[in-house]
Structure formats: structure tokens, C-alpha cells
Amino acid sequence: MNGEIVSSIGQGALVFIGICSTDNAKDMEYMVRKILSIRIFDDENEKKWKKSLVDNDFEVLCVSQFTLYNTWKGLKPDFHLAMPSEHSKEFYENFIEMLKSKYKPDKVKDGIFGAYMQVSLQNDGPVTLEIESPAQPEKTSKKTKSAHVNKTTEDTGDLAER
């Protein structure tokens, strides 16, 4: 708070979570499973794309990022596709709890929901991947729940509130 480090990880993944207005529990379950399962790390023989966060016992730092659901109105961003904050806070907190329940709670970190933060990242590769949950039949927007996963090196993911 006030310039202090709120959360920090070593090697692992920095995940920016976008929550769409139509997201539901199935989207949440899919994203948690995907984040923990994707193979974005090298194995012990330096073969690419062989190990997951779980395989390596790495950490994950999650940041709520409603701006992932922007559209454009002229030159200004519009965020009407994002879930309103009065609903997305609970959704995000449930997402973090589910991630902790499926992995190791001490390996899952996050920031302060809705706070203006400075995020420091040392991107390994660099690798940044976008993951979308499969569209549900009732979804009308072109995007569903979104996460941007950034592979990090040691001592790299920091969150400080401004």
C-alpha cells in the first residue's frame, strides 16, 4: 500500500484476468484448469513447452484486469463487455479461491481488487499467451473470460499500490 509491495512471486506466471459480463462458474473452472495445466516451461533437458506451473511447483500472481474487455468508440476505449465491478469482485475472489483449492494456496498470490497498481514484470522469453474460455451458447460477445499469462523469471512479479 502507498508504494509498498503488496504481492510478489519468483519464477512462475503473472496472469492478467479479464472477466466478461456473461462469465459463469464453468468459465471459471475452465480457466483455473487451463492456467494450472498449460505447458509453458522447459523441462530439465531444456526442451521447450514441456512443464506446467504445477509440474515445476512454481508460483502464480493474478491481477484483475477489466481493460482486457475493451472495445473502441472512436479513439476512446469502452468497457461495456467487462463485468461491472459490483459483480466482478466476488467473481474474481471466487476465482482466486478456486485456484488455491486446486493448487497450493501459498503459491497463489494476487493484488488488491480495483486498486491502481504498478505491476513489474520480467517476462521470460518473452512469452505472453492469451487464453479464452470456450464460448457458451448463450454468450453474445466475441470474447469470453480472458487471461493473459506471462512467463516470469526468478524474483520478477511485483505488485505495488500507488
Q: What is the pLDDT of residue 126?
A: 82
Q: What is the pLDDT of residue 147?
A: 67
Residues 99 and 120: their CA atoms lie apart, in Å, by 22
Q: Which of 98, 26, 22 is nearest to 62 (CA)?
A: 98
Cα angle vertex 159, ends 58, 124, to 5°? 45
90-121 pLDDT per residue, tens: 999 999 999 999 999 999 999 889 888 888 88
Residues 81 and 66: their CA atoms lie apart, in Å, by 9
Those residues of the chain that have pLDDT short of 50 are: 138-144, 162
Q: Which long-range contacts (CB under 8 A, 24 or more apart) does 83-86 make?
A: 83/19, 83/20, 83/21, 83/23, 84/21, 85/114
Q: What is the pLDDT of residue 142?
A: 45
Residues 98 and 147: their CA atoms lie apart, in Å, by 15
Q: How many CA atoms lie within 13 A of 4 on its CB side?
A: 4
Q: What is the pLDDT of residue 97?
A: 98
List the catalytic residues.
67
Q: What is the pLDDT of residue 114?
A: 86
Q: What is the pLDDT of residue 141?
A: 45
Distances (CA, A) of 101 to 29, 40, 97: 11, 22, 6
Residues 92 and 28: their CA atoms lie apart, in Å, by 9
Query: Model pTM?
Result: 0.83
Containing 109, the helix (H) or strand (E) segment is: strand 108-110
Q: What is the pLDDT of residue 144?
A: 46
Containing 111, the helix (H) or strand (E) segment is: none
